[in-house]
Every structure is written in structure tokens, then in C-alpha cells.
A and B are shown apart, each in its own frame.
Chain A
Amino acid sequence: MALFSKLKSALKKTKDLLRTDVRDLFKSGEILDEAKLEEFHRGLITTDMGVEASEEVVESLREEFGGRTVDPDAVWENVKNTLKEILKGDGSTNWDPENPLSPLNMATEGPTVILVSGVNGVGKTTSIAKLANYLTKSGKKVVLAAGDTFRAAAVDQLTKWSQRIGCEIVRKDPGTDPASVAFAGCDHAVQIGADVVLVDTAGRLQTQQNLMQELEKIRRVINKRIEGAPHESLLVLDATTGQNGISQASKFSDAAGCTGIVLAKLDGTAKGGVVVAIRKKMGIPVKYVGVGEQLDDLQLFSPDDFVEALLEES
């Protein structure tokens, strides 16, 4: 699939990094000893998946194959399956490659509200632009609510995107209460009969309690205007983020009730493995991945491809 070839090429570096380590490791006929497991553990740690998840993978290898001669295929199957299982979770999220909107929980009636949040500089505004582009191309009528009234020129940034995409944007003066922008956005969407409202928020560190409360308020206010909203609350996560991603996911979930993750900046050498740890600990699924700076560089997440691209042998 064209979509995935792009993802794969983005992850190629990752794969190369991991593969060189690992291919040397698991040679058929050799004995899988502690030194090899240790080296493999190192490889997993470099993906940022965290000590716990990588130990789980290593432990299952140790149990199954430890001290025996290596059958590379079987070892690979085992690793991939463990990771895929973690990423797929309880199976409630659907990633249908034919329908790029499948993981999104759409409203049965009226506009669907998607709240987007995350820490500073992860790529929220860019991800929103990509998502808006995605939705517009799928024939949806999109309204953007420029809720980042804090950072200098953030509203301008989103406005420029909206012009490029050709969708509507609701904006207010810098310093306005972001909840009121969100409300106005929902209001406007209802009036013009839009399908989707994307609510941008200012970047905030998850430890800033007052700002996290502000996020909670935005969510409440949205719910006041449109019942059942926000239908989706997406956390944008920087693929370079390390174990702090777990703290981000848990605290943003408390405030914004995250229903999914957009893993941005996967086009670098970072592996974004922390989503494995997050899925394991909190069950929040990845829904989309960002693989570049262009508008169409947003892709549907696929657990199989993610793991394959991460560990694929050839």
C-alpha cells in the first residue's frame, strides 16, 4: 500500500538501527544466552518502549527459547506477536485501511467534535491541519477552532493552514479564554451544518495544574454546546518523547479524557516506542501517525505495520 510504504520508509532508519543489532544476534543454530538477551534488551530500550515492556518481551523470549539453539523465525514471531498484542489492546479500536476515518468515533447526528491537546511543541497545530486536510478530502465539512490563544502567532499559524486547506476557522483575539473559542467553534459548526469541529489548544506541560484545569473546562464547555462532545479527544505525542510520554498520557487523560493518540514526527530517527508502554499501561490507542511536514503526511496507524516496520527482517 502506498500509505504504508511511506510509513515504512519513515521507519526505515529505525528498522536499520534495530535490525543490525538484532540480525547479528539471532543467528540460526547459536545458543540464545544471557549476553544475547541483554543485547536484545538494549535494542528494545533504544526504541523508547520502556523498561517494563522490553523486559516483558525479553522475558517471554527467555522462557520460550532461553538456553536453546536459536530459530530466528520463531524468535521473530514471538517478539512481533507480543508487541502487536500490546498495541492492539482489547480490539475495540478499528484501523481499516480502506476507511481512513475508521478509528474516529463520529457523532451519529450533528457535528463531531475533536479536541486536540498535548505538551508544547509536539506538533498539535500541524497535526490539526493535517487532520483537517484529511477530513476535507474525505468530503467532510470542517471547522477549525483556534483555541491556542496563548502562544505568540499560533492563531496566525492555524489561519494560514485553513487558507491552504480551504476550511473555515473560528478565531478570537490573543489572550481570549480558549473555552470561549471552542464554544464559538462548536456554535458556528452547528449553524452552518459542518461535519467536524477540530479544537486546537495551547501546548501545556502536564504538570501545570491550572492549565490542565483550563483544558478540563474547555472539554466541559464543548459538552455544553454539543451533547456527547467531544467525541474524540486526541493527544498529540512527539515520537522523540521518552518515558515522559507515559506521564503525559496519564495526566492529559485525566483532564481531557483522551481517546486516542496522534504520534507526530515519526519521520526522524526516533521510534516512538513509548506508545507501546502507554497502550500497555493506560490502554490509549494510537490512531494516526505524522510522518512529515507536508499536509498529506498524516497516516492511519496500523499496529501490524508499525511492528513490522519496526522489527522487519528484510
Chain B
Amino acid sequence: MFESITQNLTDALGNFTRGKLSEGNIRDGMAQVRKALLEADVNYDVAKSFCDNVTKQAVGDQVLKSLKPGEQIVGIVYNELVNLMGPVDHSIAIRRGEMAIIMMCGLQGAGKTTTCGKLATMLKEQGATPMLVAADLQRPAAIEQLRVIGEQVGVPVYWEEAGSSTPVKVCQNAQKAAKKEGCNVLILDTAGRLHIDDSLMKELVQIDNKLMPHQALLVCDAMTGQDAVNSAKAFNEALELDGVILTKLDGDTRGGAALSVKAVTGVPIKYIGVGEQLDKLEPFHPERMAQRILGQGDVATLLETAQRVLDAEEMEDQQQKMLEGKFTLDDFLKAMSQIQRMGSMKSLMKLIPGMGQMAQAMEAMDGMDPDKDVKRVKAMISSMTVEERRHPDRIDRSRRNRIAIGSGTDPAEVNDLLKQFKGMSGMMQQMAGMNMGDRMKAVRELQSEAMNPNSRGVSQGKQRSKRGDLTKDALREKKKKERQRQKKARKRKK
């Protein structure tokens, strides 16, 4: 997400960090920033006032006379971005003994029903007992959709036949049913409506008046253009929104809506939807989003995901094995499945500072899909016998051919995997022996080399011709790191 806005902003801001800064070229640069924002669907007035603000702060003497004016300006942009999108409040107040009612509303196709399911999943994880209410009697089969989702999530769904009821009635009856069942959160899935459709907006206000929801949340498609502000404004006027949930942020949308909605309506963004699966709802963090927009990665989210998904014991076990040099292909497979649970390789790479551009570069080069490669590697390892996994050295030509056939790959690929694994396990031992600082340094070195197109390591064309479709990121980098280390070791010997 946000790639393009990041790209353009990075270009524009890059000019600041090079060469001498003057008031003139700051203004030129900010014109570029404004264009980038507009192309990202940021509201015209928001973009303008954003740039004016930054310019005002940037042309001050203090900035220009400071040691690194360019970095100062990037800092100002970061702060302004955070101010624009924040502050937020993720809490959905659930008081003991009281039922919290959450009303979801939005335009057609924003993703309300799916988001209801995601929200229910999240609340359930947090220990609440939610109930979903099918108050969308408009769209054919909307009730069925919510019922299916309720089943997937394991949450009760209250519904009535569309022909014989009204949304207000459904909600009221649902409230009673929820009390009976002992649910403490009621999530109302209302029908999608246009903010200029008076009768439907009135209906929404009616539900609002009758049920007095604790939270009225607007579900907003992140791909929306300049109109996002209009609809958010209208919904806010009708309902006094408590928050916005931004959906479909997993696409390549530039997400300008995220920047504008808060700025124009004052309604904070609470959550973001980042995938079709029902657990793909994240709290919105303006700081992290600003970092992502500026291409500085988002390690915080990565760590959070890791903590949530990875099995701590297993990780420790693997680390121990690495230290002892007993890391087998089997462990490798396990580690890979764990990492995959966190999301696609591509989405993970984007969270690591500096790696976002690499993920993009790989995408640009056709066929470089790290996720596909992970799949292939998994297939290859799965085609090996237990013995082979433990002792990869015993894999000879005939075994190699069998593995290739079994996994639908090429013998050469199997060979590459084995070579890489061998290099990797050696390197892992070394890494495991290092302290944290050295490790970070090694990673940083790796990164700067990776981003340098002239470096020998990632001349991708060459790599590809040598070994075709194989694990590109993890394995290649580790292999490269190992090479560096060997080189250093050699030097030391001399």
C-alpha cells in the first residue's frame, strides 16, 4: 500500500537532501510534493494547506542554518503527516454489564459486511462476545453473506426475512435477542447507501436514534478519490461518526483518502482492512502510516504480527538448533511456514525499512515473486525423505532427479536450494554467535549493498539466468552475507 505516494514523495524529498537548500528550491520541491499528494487522491485543499504548512516551517532560518536542513524538512513532513492523520483512539468501550452497540455504515461496496466479520473476529479475540445483525435488507443476498461470515467467525448472527421487516425493527429485535444470549457487543451491518439519498440517510438516523449506538463507524474504501471527503462529511453530519475504518488498503492504492478524511471531518481513522481474510484488520497508527508513506518501513507492525503469530517456543528451539549447527531442512521448512503465517513475503518486506523499494523492484521484474519461490522451496523439501532432510549431503544425482520430479521443479533448482541451505546454515551459526549490535550491522550492510544496483550481489538478471526461479530474498541475501563473511575471514587470516 501507499507505494506510489511513497515513490513520488521520496523523489520529491530526495531533492532536499541533496545539494544546497534555498527558499526557492524548497518551494519547487514542495510543488512536487503537492503534485504527488494530488496524484495520490489527497483532497486538493488538504494538499495545499499541507504544503503551505511545511513550507512555512521549512523556510525558517532555523531549518536552513541547521546542520542537515534536508533531513529537517523530511522531519517536518513526517510530523505534519502524523498531525494530519492523528491522533487516534482504538478503543471500543465495552463496559461491564452493558451492551456496546457498534453501527457500521458507508457507501455501497465499501466492504461493510466483510469488515463486520473482521471486527467481530477482533473483538472475540479480545474476549468480547459479539453478535452480528443483518440490517442490510437492500442488497440481494446480503443477509446470506453475513450469515456465512458469522459461521466462519463463530459468532451468532441475528437476521429476519428481508420482505417482512425493516432495518430499525431488525436492530431492535436483535438487541433483545443479544441480551437473551448474553452477548455484550452488537455489530449492526447496515445497507450501503449514497450520502445524498435522503430517505436512506433518514433510515440510518432512525436506527441511530432508536438504538443509540456507542460507536458509529464509517467504512470507507481506501481507493476512493476526491469524493471520499464529501461522503465522509455527509455521514458525519447525519450521525456524528466516532471513527472511520479504511478498507482495501492491501491493494496498490495511494490512500490519499486516509490523509484527507481525518483532516476535513476531524473523525479519526480507527482501523484499516488489509486483506480479504477475516483476521486482516489492524488498528490504525498515524506514526506508522507516516513512516510507511515516507518509505521508512514499519518495524513496529512487523514485530506485533510476529508476536501474535509465531510460536515462541518453536522459535527458541530453532535458534538453539542453529547455534549447535543442527538446523536441518525440516526446521527450515517449519521456519518458513511460520513466517508465511505472518503474511506474504512481499507484504513483510514492505514493513522492513528500505526493503519496500526492493519488493517493488522485484515485482517490476516479471516473475520475481518471492511468495511463489517460497512455495517451490516448500514443495521441494516436502518431496524429500526424512533422511534426506536431515542429511542433505546424501542427496545424489538420482535422488535429486526424483525430488525434482516429485515437486514439479528442475533438478538444477533442487541443487541451488541445497547449495544455499548449506551456505545458510554456516552463516546462521556465525550469526547466532554474534551479539545484537553486530547482527544489526550485518543486516544494514546487506541492505545498502542490496539497494546499490552496481553491487555484485543483486545484479538480478545474472542471478536469474544462473538459477531460474528460486527463493530470491531470504536465501540469496543470506548466501551473500556468508560470502562477505568468508571474505572478511580470509582477510583476517592474511
Q: Hey, which bits of chain A sit against chain B, CB under 8 A?
A: 13, 42, 45-48, 50-51, 119-123, 151-154, 156-157, 160-161, 205-207, 209, 238, 240-245, 247, 265, 267-271, 273-274, 293
Contact = CB atoms under 8 A, between A and B. Distances in A.
A117 B146 CA distance: 23
A240 B141 contact: no
B196 A121 contact: no
Main secondary structure of the interface of A (DSSP, over half): loop
A242 B107 CA distance: 15
Nearest 10 pairs between A and B by C-beta? A242-B225, A121-B109, A242-B41, A152-B148, A153-B144, A270-B227, A157-B141, A205-B251, A48-B225, A153-B145
A269 B144 contact: no
Contact of B223 (A13, A119, A293): A119
Interface in B206-227: 221, 223-227
B108 A153 contact: no
Contacts of A209: 369
Nearest to A247: B252
Given A50-B39, A160-B140, A243-B225, A120 B254 contact: no
B172 interface: no
B226 A45 contact: yes
Contacts of B140: 156-157, 160-161
12 contacts: A45-B38, A153-B144, A154-B141, A160-B140, A160-B141, A240-B221, A242-B254, A243-B39, A244-B254, A268-B194, A268-B196, A270-B226
Interface string B73-110: 00000000000000000000000000000000001111
Contacts of A154: 141, 145
Contacts of A273: 225
A119 B226 contact: no
Nearest to B42: A242
Given A119-B251, A267-B194, 10 more contacts: A48-B225, A205-B252, A242-B223, A242-B228, A243-B39, A244-B41, A244-B223, A244-B254, A265-B108, A269-B227
A264 B144 CA distance: 24
B424 to A, nearest CB: 27
Interface residues of B, number: 46
A123 B35 CA distance: 30
Contacts of A265: 107-109, 194
Contacts, number: 136
B257 interface: yes
Interface in B177-223: 194-196, 221, 223
A183 B251 CA distance: 29
Contact of A207 (B111, B147, B196, B250): B250
Contacts of B225: 48, 240-245, 270, 273-274
A51 B4 CA distance: 14
A267 B41 CA distance: 20
Nearest to A50: B39
Most A-side CB within 10 Å, residue of B111, B149, B230, B250: B230
B170 to A, nearest CB: 17
B452 interface: no
B489 to A, nearest CB: 40
B196 A123 contact: no
Contacts of B195: 268-269
Contacts of A242: 41, 223-226, 228, 254, 256-257
Contacts of B250: 205, 207
Most B-side CB within 10 Å, residue of A121, A205, A273: A121
Given A241-B224, A242-B226, A119 B248 contact: yes
B70 to A, nearest CB: 25
Nearest to B234: A269
A123 B139 CA distance: 11
B148 A42 contact: no
Contacts of A206: 251-252
A45 B44 contact: yes
Nearest to A239: B227
A50 B142 CA distance: 34
A179 B118 CA distance: 29
A152 B111 CA distance: 13
Interface string B25-47: 00000000001001111001100
